[in-house]
Structure 1
Amino acid sequence: MKAKLFDYVDRDNFMFNLSGLTKLVCFICMTCSVMFSYDVRYILFVMALSVVIFKVSGLQFKQIKLMTIYVVIFLLINFLLTYLFSPGYGTELYGTAHEIFRFTARYTVTWEQLLYQVTKITKYASVVPLGMIFLLTTNPSEFAASLNRVGVSYKGAYALSLTLRYFPDMIRDYQNIALAQQSRGLDLSRREKVRVRVKNSMNICIPLIFSTLDRIELISNAMDLRGFGKHKKRTWYGARPVRRGDWMALAFGTLILAGSLYLTFFVNGSRFWNPFI
């Protein structure tokens, strides 16, 4: 089966066999450990762990290739804009200034500013793989059950589950409509001008919007007929019990978070690692 963006494909390995609640708690713990700390050494350690977890889960890079491209573009833009609007924030943060070179009197490149921006970039780059691993290894129904078990309203949890389920369907519908329009002579290749390609793309988007509205109405009617929302609580068919492997994973996630807190309060004395003092 060809894997697509946000398309859940069940596999039999350690990551897929974990409970959705376990993966949610571990994702929150590892994300908080990265977001709370500004120690680039620990953030790189968590990033390396996320790569290892990705390999263990058996996922394929092509499943996250498109998202990776968007994230890289976002990180580059963020890096440039941070320096453009706050070129001296690193020196204010660390209290020293070790100049590398300068463009103008305002735009001076220092090791402090470079460390701050690299740390900031690695924080984002560490969290995104963790989120992708969580989404691609968790059944949407089980994900909704996990959210409900940690206190989220089951209506909101179910709405998010439907959203995740709809992404692969929407991509599949787009591809089918695009193939149907191309068989009728619609040219979407690079041989056409950009203006013409944008105009031709509208011939795909409009049918996609109407098919989406039809799907929404169909699902809404089905949920109403089954009495969805009548009671304050509900049971979940997709929920999994917590087993031995789940307890091991929970202990691992808690240890990662505890390591970040220990490094912050007892080793560095603050959220920031300052090698310039």
Structure 2
Amino acid sequence: MSKSGMLYVDKDTLFHRMDGAAKLIVFAVWTVIVFLFQDLRVFVPLFAIGLILLFLAQIPYKRIRLLVWIMVVFNLFNSIFTLLITPSYGSEVTGTATVVLDLGYNVLTLETCFYVLTLTMKYMSLMPITVLFIFTTHPTRFASSLNRIGVPYKIAYAFNIAFRYVPDLQTEFRNISNAMQARGMGFGKGEGSMRDRVKHFISIAIPLVQSSLHRIEVVSNAMDLRGFGRHQKRTWYSATAWRRADYIIAALSVVAILAAIAVRLSGFGRFWYPFS
């Protein structure tokens, strides 16, 4: 978290100089392309390109480590649950069955393993562009750019608050966790059974929700006292104008989504299984 309480990392790269609305277009197009296909041959190149773009953005790994691990853990649990609950689903998709393991209640097939790998890369291909968008976009400038392209400023300001509130939520979680540890609750390895540690983490939810509701009330009252929403339009202290690079990237994004739709309509992009 930055000193200003934001996830934004201040650097002088192409991604930081881009207008927030242009980056939103890229993010939206990237997401649509990912969900248009179910092909590992699409997801691996997208993931590789995303990692290159993330490297070029010069974002320190220690700043994005938590978000990356959350996405990795989510994918890990999603893969395990898919393999355990529907171990033969891949065979239903491909029409072939190569048994890898007999689970008793069902059989795990090679087709399902490949399907889970494809699904994992589908989600992982979204990780670099998501991190890039979050950590290179200044909340206020992003809100102003949304308002400039026609989004009502109340909705745009909601995005601004959401971007700023995530680091505060992390800080609040850490404070509550430290307070509970001072009272003898264990959260780390060796400080109780896994069940007890999970219960302790769940117990953080109640005070976290209460403090969040209190913070929302404070912000809401402050905005009401300043007359937020009284006028049809508003000005922005921090704003960016579209540059040539923004127009070029937005145009390339439109071309990319049109090409992706055309390729998908041609029949390419369904679940690809190389061993059938």
Distance change (3 Å), C-alpha of 1:264 and 1:232: same
Contact 1:6 1:63 in 2 (8 A): no
Look up the match of 2:129: 130
Structure 1 residue 145 displacement after superposition:
2.8
Question: What is aligned with 2:12?
Answer: 12
Sequence identity (%)? 35
Are 1:40 and 1:273, in contact at CA under 8 Å, matched by a contact in 2? yes
RMSD: 3.7
The one-character-per-residue Cα deviations of 1:214-251 (angstroms, maximum 9, x if unpaired) are: 64444333322332112344343433221111123223
Contact 1:187 1:200 in 2 (8 A): no
The alignment status of 1:162 with 2:155, answered yes or no, reads no
How many equivalent residue pairs?
Answer: 272
Helix, strand or coil: the match of 2:125?
A: helix
Aligned to 1:227: 227
Q: Does 1:53 align with 2:53?
A: yes
Distance 1:170 1:230 in 2: 29
1:29-68, Cα deviation, whole Å (9 max, x unpaired): 0111111111111111111111011111111222221222
**Cα pair 2:9 2:59 within 8 Å, conserved:** no
Distance 1:150 1:123, change over 3 A: farther
The SS at the match of 1:64 is helix
Aligned residue in 2 for 1:23: 23
Q: CA contact under 8 A between 1:21 and 1:143: conserved in structure 2?
A: yes
Shift of 1:107: 3.1
Tell me if structure 2 keeps the 8 A contact 1:22–1:246. Answer: yes
- Relative to structure 1, is the Cα distance of residues 232 and 275 closer, same or farther in structure 2, using a 3 angstrom cutoff? farther
Establish whether residue 107 from structure 1 lines up as the match of residue 106 from structure 2.
yes
Call closer, same or farther: CA 1:199–1:25 in 2, change over 3 Å: closer
CA contact (8 A) 1:87 1:113 kept: yes
Match of 1:245 in 2: 245
Q: 1:91 to 1:218 in 2, by over 3 A?
A: closer
Q: Distance in 1 between matches of 2:171 and 2:108?
A: 47
Relative to structure 1, is the Cα distance of residues 242 and 271 closer, same or farther in structure 2, using a 3 angstrom cutoff? farther
Q: Is the 8 A contact 1:99 1:108 kept in 2?
A: no
Asked if 1 retains the 8 angstrom alpha-carbon contact of 2:143 and 2:156, the reply is yes
Instruction: State the alpha-carbon separation in 1 of the partners of residues 136 and 251 from structure 2.
Output: 19
Query: Residue 52 of structure 1 aligns to which amino acid in structure 2?
Result: I
Q: Matched residues in 1 for 2:169 and 2:54: separation? A: 25
The one-letter amino acid paired with 1:43 is F
Aligned to 1:71: 71
Change (3 A) 1:188 1:5: farther
Instruction: Report if aligned partners of 2:13, 2:57 keep a CA contact under 8 Å in 1.
Output: yes
Aligned partner letter, 1:145:
S
1:198-277 alignment to 2 at 5 Å? 206=207, 215-266=215-266, 268=268, 271-276=270-275
Is 1:44 aligned to residue 35 of structure 2? no
SS class of match (1:273): coil
Going from structure 1 to structure 2, the CA distance change for 1:200 and 1:114 (only over 3 Å counts) comes to closer
Deviation at 1:85, TM superposition (A): 2.6
With over 3 angstroms needed to count, the CA separation of the structure-2 counterparts of 1:128 and 1:196, relative to structure 1, is closer
Q: 1:150 to 1:119 in 2, by over 3 A?
A: farther
Report the counterpart of residue 33 of structure 1 in structure 2: 33
Distance of aligned partners of 1:145 and 1:271 in 2 relative to their CA distance in 1, 3 Å threshold: farther
Q: Which runs of 5+ in 1 are unaligned?
A: none
Find the residue that maps to 2:100 and give its secondary structure. strand
- Flag the 1:218–1:120 CA change in 2: closer, same or farther, 3 A: same
**Alpha-carbon distance change, 215 to 26 in structure 1, aligned in 2, over 3 angstroms:** same
Cα contact 1:26–1:253 (8 A) shared by 2 = yes
Corresponding residue of 1:94:
94
Q: In structure 2, how many angstroms separate the alpha carbons of the residues matched to 1:121 and 1:200? A: 26
Q: Given the superposition, is the C-alpha separation of residues 151 and 116 from structure 1 closer, same or farther in structure 2, using an over 3 Å criterion?
A: farther
- TM-score (norm. length: structure 2): 0.79
Aligned to 1:142: 141
| TM-score, normalised via structure 1 length | 0.79
Deviation at 1:82, TM superposition (A): 1.5
Amino acid of the structure 1 residue aligned with 2:110: W
